[in-house]
Structure 1
Amino acid sequence: MIHNRTFRQALFAGTLPAIALAAFCNPAFAAETEAVVALPEIIVTARKQQESLQNVPISVTAFDSESIELHNFNNVQDMSYSIPNLNFSRLTTLSTSISIRGINSADNAPGFETGVAVILDDVYIGRAAGFTTNLIDIERVEVLRGPQGTLQGRNVTAGSINIVTDRPSDDFKVKGKISYGNYDELTAMGVVSGPIIPGKLAGKIGIARIRNDGYGRNVSLDKPLDSTDAWSFRGQLAFTPTDDLTILLTGDYDDYDNHDSHGYFGPPDIVKLTPDITDREATGDVWNNGFRKVGGGALNIYYTFPNEMTLASITSARAYDVSAIQEGDPDQNWGPSGAGTFVATARNDQKQNQFSQEVRLASPSGGNFTWLTGLYYYRDTLKNYQNFLFGVNTGSVIAGASTIDDSRSTTKSYAAFGSATNHFSDRFSVTGGLRYTINKRGIRVLEALGIDGTDAVFGDYVDMLTQDDPAPTEFDALVALGTTRNKVTDKALTGDLTFTVDWTDDVSTFAKYAHGFKGGGFNASFNSGFSGGSVKPEYIDSFELGLRSMLFDRKLRFNLTNFYMKVKDQQTLIYDSVAFRYVTANEPGVRTYGFELDAAAVLMPELTWSLGVGYINSEITGGANKGLRPAYSSPWSINTSLSFDQPVTETLNLFAFGEASWRDSYALLAGSPDASRQGAYWWLGGKVGVKAADGSWSLSLYGRNLTNETVASYATNVPGLFTVAFLQPPRTYGVELSFNF
């Protein structure tokens, strides 16, 4: 239980000094500084309309295209070190872990969805395996923290990541970059945009290529680990037959192959990562092959009526096909080679498709009373096949069997939503929103034992494995273990209420309450009789107090959001080390409070500074894990950067950018406070180079993780056997050429 005094101190510790600063700042300061330099205005669509970031009562971190280029972001995961209270880790080809404010969603089990929405050009992407999008042609990325379900979509209990791409230009443009670095890492991205029918139809094509030879190595097999070989494509047509009507037709496709580190193994019962792991050299027979193909299309229609009301229709279909194969070599598997050696391999195939339709109608902007209302439909089908092979190498066959889980899950979701703002005066407004959601989900799971024959000594067996067939998919006989069917329907009314006061044109505060909901689901992942077990819905109540200020003629931005959240039945992925299985479970209760600070300042005309600070105090309040912190809830996350841009001639500028991020220690697995833990670390990056004064080209040197920190994105300990960890990239550096004509 939280003492009232402790809560008040945490909630207002940063707010009161900040309000005092805004109220008593010296106006003369602006006159003493360079008046020609100011922080740029950031436009976001966090509330489904274009607004200045300073006018949005939501905790938002946003990056425009120039900032994305300066930070050298290639994908969304790269951004996580620059955003307070966010942890984004790719674990394997199939699994991604995202945590905002300590609310974690590890998208591993096929019956489990994330609590963080990714919105790509107004399209909600349902599962994490489908949104590791390369940042080819991005206009802006917005990270919204806290429940956003009223307007952003379904299951948004933790927050949302909104990706807005550049629209085709009516002027011919070419932009891109190419870089080369250590680990033979090649990144090439390019976009061509221009008119097809001037004034009416424009188009663009963007292509990206990213590859590297692998950050680690299996020294037993002499094969790479953590390698990447990816292609990405995005195309769009923009049809504007009149000034009031815009029709966008978009298609994208990603092809991603890699060799995940199926874990760097260390001694049993360790608390900290050992040299066995930090050297990025794995031993043994396991070599993980990952394949992912992701694609989709969307038809977005935006129309403005003569009375200035606006209509938006977003129709989208998306799909992915993913395979993760953990290949075991019988000659080297987990012990001396030859007869009697234990063998274990695994295969996981997922095929998903989704369809969504959203329609929104909004009032004219600028009045004292504005509103937005809409309807939403979402349909999802996921097929998941898992095969875990285990046995003993006899020298000619594998004595053992394959446990097979074959599931098909379906989701249908319907929602009606609306939000309205009333400006009672020039300085005071109230915003309220509601969303009613119906989620219908069903699952069918077949569990079986796959065998090929009978061995006189060892019993059931399967044929010797090969690289092309490390975990067989066809068998002479199947022993049915049972079929599980389950259905669940959840209905929820959620919403938010916000009070905003504009003290001056540049300083405002807000108080907000939000109630969020995430639908229930199922366990469907190597559960040996437990598959199909249902997981209860997750509910969240969030309270926020915020300050937004832009001071000294836009030379200083100081934004602060304090929050307190209570989560009921938080859906959490845990590893059952006794039964050797991942299980999605409900934590009875989680309590979290903290804050996010976002500051930036123009120190000199050529020098800009930024600071982001996040604090989380999170605790599980019931059940077996009572008193522990949820996974990936780092108490402190701090990032600061300096950006320097100085003309050296009339046509040439020298620029430099450096960023330092610090993350406090955190657990990597629910219910495992010691053995699965990442210690505190620094993450340093930067870029230095020269560029044309008009921005048409730049040549630079870049570096990431410059101190070569070993950071585990996931780790688990099997008592008495081993600890296994998946690692974030090591130090990388290289040279980059970018162009924009």
Structure 2
Amino acid sequence: MRWFLAAGGACAAMAFGPAPAWAQETEQADAPTVGEIVVTARKEKENLQNVPISITAFDSAAIEDRALRDVQDIAYSVPNLNISRLTTLSTQVSIRGISSADSAPGFETGVAVILDDVYIGRAAGFSTSLLDIERIEVLRGPQGTLQGRNVLGGSINLTTTRPSDDFFAKGRVSFGNYDELVASGVVSGPIVPGRLAAKLAVERQSRDGYARNVDLDKPLDTKDSWAGRAQIAFTPSDALTILVTGDYTHYNNHDFHNDYSAPDPVNVLPELLDRRVGGDVWNYGWREVYGAALNVYYDFGNGMRLASVSSVRGYSVVDVQEADPVTNFGVAGAGTFIATARNDQSQDQISQELRLHSAQGGAFTWLAGLYYYHEVLRNYQNFLAGFNLGTVIAGSSSIDDSRTGTDSYAAFGSFTYRFDDRFSLTGGLRYTINDRNVRVQELLGIDGTDPLLGTYVNPITLADPAPKAYLATVDLGTTRNSISDKVVSGDLTFAQQWTPDVSTYLKYARGFKGGGFNASFNSGFSGGLVKPEYIDAYEAGLRSELFNRRVRFNVTGFYMKQRDQQVLQFDEVNFRYVTRNEPGVRTFGGELELTVAVAQPLTWSFTAGLVDAKVTAGPNKGLKSPYTSPVSFTTALSFDQPVSEGVRVFAFGEASWRDRYALSATPGPLGHQEAYWWLTARAGFKAADDSWAIGLYGRNLLNETVVSSMSHVPGLFNVGFIQEPRTYGVEARFAF
């Protein structure tokens, strides 16, 4: 290893030449190390290496290197993590084979995103901007004891920067292909020095479409968004801190890749994968995500601390698909197919968490808390499909109107007992009461009457898009249902500190995800119960820093068994989303993370993930879990070197490889994404004091086609969602 480090340093010296005398003095004074990363995975500030959890963490410098803009951007840098944009309604997140695509209103996520201690209840609300984020922590495995409800696969914890008692301002602007513009700015400073400070951050993103409908000559995959976050920090005394935060993000986009031109029942059309689709299918939508939080922290004189986190959050989404019969299926008139759909969804949640922390530093430390979560989800779906018979449409015009309510209560606690300087035991329990209810009303819309064929929708009066109201409706039935779960979950961890820089741990965790309902475009199937899901997870880990902290080497192995795993699938025959339970799923694998400070200006990292997730019982026995690469790895180089007393040159490159994985929980001809490479890079110059920087960036440099999801309706159309193509541009930033 020493030979490798020496060889790496020699290569860097040969590549960039000898450093000037003033730079050599700096390098000798500051020997290269991998640096310390502080995380709050256990609700206390701790060194990453001392936390017996499988974590990948990014500090502000790593976020800057990768130019991360939203949650999806981190997927290629984290082992055993997949994040894919599915629709305007949803983002799919998978950790260790546990997925969370929750566009269907009755389905809840099994992976959490937590923003400044606030649990975000649904994946449609995950797309909060990474504007002004200080730290990102990706926790793998069940984290329900401390992180919140339904956290089976893991959590993505985001921590924003705090308002500063010293004035500062910073900004960034970038221009790229597809006429992409990203501009952001942050201003922070004191209002009452020492007591009251405030911060305001704003961001604007826009771009042309990555794809095009060649029949309509209109773009798809456009983006038009803006985001803002404001925070006030009030410290009336040294013991009391009050944070008031508000954030808002708005998106307008055309994001569907439908193809009605000549759907192939076996293969995805090459044109669709080339981001060129046919048919008169104009898809558009918008989404707004918003929230506010009141975080109060009080330090008692004896070292104990009280934390209160109160929040309101929510989102609203409108998602429309329109299909014209003339362009899609030839000649208008008898036999011509027509389809249009609209989905309006809104979610509102409130939550309250209280935690009491013991004094730190002793042999026995503990944490106890109470949690309450309330959510109302409203979902309106209007789908019209049928054949134009001249004066009527022979088909169906179905309306699904649902309201889902959730109330979740929990009491939880965790402790750590240190037997000596080397051996410790950590345990936790959480008691949860999860009450959910649903009301689904299904209607048939009527705009005209045909004495021979019965009652159908008249195409002459068909609104554009699908109307919310008809002249009359036929009630297909209203379903009301409820489910209540009372569960004890928890974890137990044994940790051994072999040397100051090397430790191991063994961990068991039991996780739980509450039951739910089918409530999405189901035409008589709505309201059916979905059983709760349970997981037992076993984990072993090694944490080490070697060679005077020039090398960080962490490795984790895990084995998990799930019972009644909740799976969201698209029923291509009946054209509906269905949530069901897999009787059993077995998953095992591991993560490896290696970081090497090769030389003062050069750091190299390598991560790898292995997952084998397989259904062990039921009709899908033997199938692999979706969105789960059996093998994935990422390697990155970061370079930062002075070229003069006031200027530094920087470069960052990252290459990720993801093995072939399934796109659906059921077998199908369009059900896989092939293995691919994802390359990103940044390079440029910056001030020695970080007051300015200018450079170039590129993402997906090999222009790989990465499918987020794909479904096929036999004889009608293919629907696909595709990740971004090759993008590149120039960026500049400043700070003062």
Task: Report the TM-score, using the length of structure 1 for normalisation.
Answer: 0.94
Give CA deviations for 1:24-43 in whole Å, capped at 9, x if unaligned. 99999999996622111000
Question: 1:252 and 2:247 equivalent?
Answer: yes
More deviation, 199-208/395-404: 395-404
Cα 1:55/1:26, change in 2 over 3 Å: farther
Paired residues of 2:100 and 2:123 also in contact (CA < 8 A): no
Aligned to 1:676: 671
Deviation at 1:133, TM superposition (A): 0.9
Aligned to 2:312: 317
Aligned to 1:113: 108
Aligned to 1:412: 407
Q: Distance in 2 between matches of 1:26 and 1:452?
A: 76
Structure 1: 5+ residue runs without aligned partners? 1-20
Paired residues of 1:106 and 1:114 also in contact (CA < 8 A): yes
One-letter code of the match for 2:270? P
Cα 1:288/1:26, change in 2 over 3 Å: closer
Q: Distance in 1 between matches of 2:401 and 2:423?
A: 56
Q: How does 1:495-644 map to 2 (within 5 A)?
A: 495-644=490-639
One-letter code of the match for 1:434? L
One-letter code of the match for 1:318? R
Identical amino acids, percent of aligned pairs: 63
One-letter code of the match for 1:166? T
Q: Distance in 1 between matches of 2:4 and 2:81?
A: 35
One-letter code of the match for 2:302? N
Q: How does 1:82-481 map to 2 (within 5 A)?
A: 82-264=77-259, 267-270=263-266, 273-393=268-388, 398=393, 400-455=395-450, 459-464=454-459, 469-481=464-476
SS of 1:150's equivalent in the other structure is helix
Deviation at 1:306, TM superposition (A): 0.3
Give CA deviations for 1:482-534 in whole Å, capped at 9, x if unaligned. 01000100011000000000000000000000000000000000111110001
Q: How does 1:19-38 map to 2 (within 5 A)?
A: 36-38=31-33
Q: Distance in 1 between matches of 2:622 and 2:79?
A: 24
Question: 1:664 and 2:645 equivalent?
Answer: no
Paired residues of 2:392 and 2:448 also in contact (CA < 8 A): no
Q: How does 1:58-73 map to 2 (within 5 A)?
A: 58-73=53-68
Q: Distance in 1 between matches of 2:377 and 2:293?
A: 20
Q: Distance in 1 between matches of 2:258 and 2:560?
A: 34
Q: Distance in 2 between matches of 1:395 and 1:70?
A: 60
Paired residues of 1:270 and 1:717 also in contact (CA < 8 A): no
More deviation, 321-330/433-442: 321-330
Cα 1:462/1:685, change in 2 over 3 Å: same
Deviation at 1:258, TM superposition (A): 0.5
Deviation at 1:456, TM superposition (A): 5.0
Give CA deviations for 1:629-668 in whole Å, capped at 9, x if unaligned. 0111110110000011111110111111100000000010
Q: Distance in 1 between matches of 2:6 and 2:105?
A: 60
Deviation at 1:375, TM superposition (A): 0.1
Paired residues of 1:511 and 1:544 also in contact (CA < 8 A): yes
Deviation at 1:263, TM superposition (A): 2.9
Question: 1:686 and 2:718 equivalent?
Answer: no
SS of 1:332's equivalent in the other structure is helix
Give CA deviations for 1:142-185 in whole Å, capped at 9, x if unaligned. 10000000000000000000000001001111112111111111
Question: 1:740 and 2:731 equivalent?
Answer: no
Paired residues of 2:447 and 2:461 also in contact (CA < 8 A): no
More deviation, 441-450/717-726: 717-726
Aligned to 2:24: none
SS of 1:437's equivalent in the other structure is strand
Q: Distance in 2 between matches of 1:621 and 1:585?
A: 15
Structure 2: 5+ residue runs without aligned partners? 11-26
Q: Distance in 2 between matches of 1:612 and 1:247?
A: 38
Q: Distance in 1 between matches of 2:629 and 2:4?
A: 37
Q: Distance in 2 between matches of 1:285 and 1:330?
A: 8
Cα 1:673/1:547, change in 2 over 3 Å: farther
The Cα RMSD (Å) is 2.1
Paired residues of 1:547 and 1:560 also in contact (CA < 8 A): yes
Aligned to 2:481: 486
Q: Distance in 2 between matches of 1:323 and 1:59?
A: 37
Paired residues of 2:257 and 2:272 also in contact (CA < 8 A): no
Cα 1:285/1:27, change in 2 over 3 Å: closer
Paired residues of 1:262 and 1:287 also in contact (CA < 8 A): no
Deviation at 1:724, TM superposition (A): 2.8
Deviation at 1:338, TM superposition (A): 4.6
Deviation at 1:569, TM superposition (A): 0.5
Aligned to 1:3: none
One-letter code of the match for 2:692? W
Give CA deviations for 1:350-392 in whole Å, capped at 9, x if unaligned. 1111010000000011111000000000000011100111123
Deviation at 1:400, TM superposition (A): 4.3
Paired residues of 1:592 and 1:618 also in contact (CA < 8 A): yes
Give CA deviations for 1:587-626 in whole Å, capped at 9, x if unaligned. 1110000000111001111110011100001110011110
SS of 2:359's equivalent in the other structure is coil
Q: Distance in 1 between matches of 2:78 and 2:8?
A: 29
Q: Distance in 1 between matches of 2:475 and 2:518?
A: 19
More deviation, 715-724/246-255: 715-724
Task: Report the TM-score, using the length of structure 2 for normalisation.
Answer: 0.94
- Partner residue of 2:726 out of 724, 727, 731: 731
Q: How many residues align?
A: 718
Q: Distance in 1 between matches of 2:440 and 2:4?
A: 67
Deviation at 1:270, TM superposition (A): 3.1
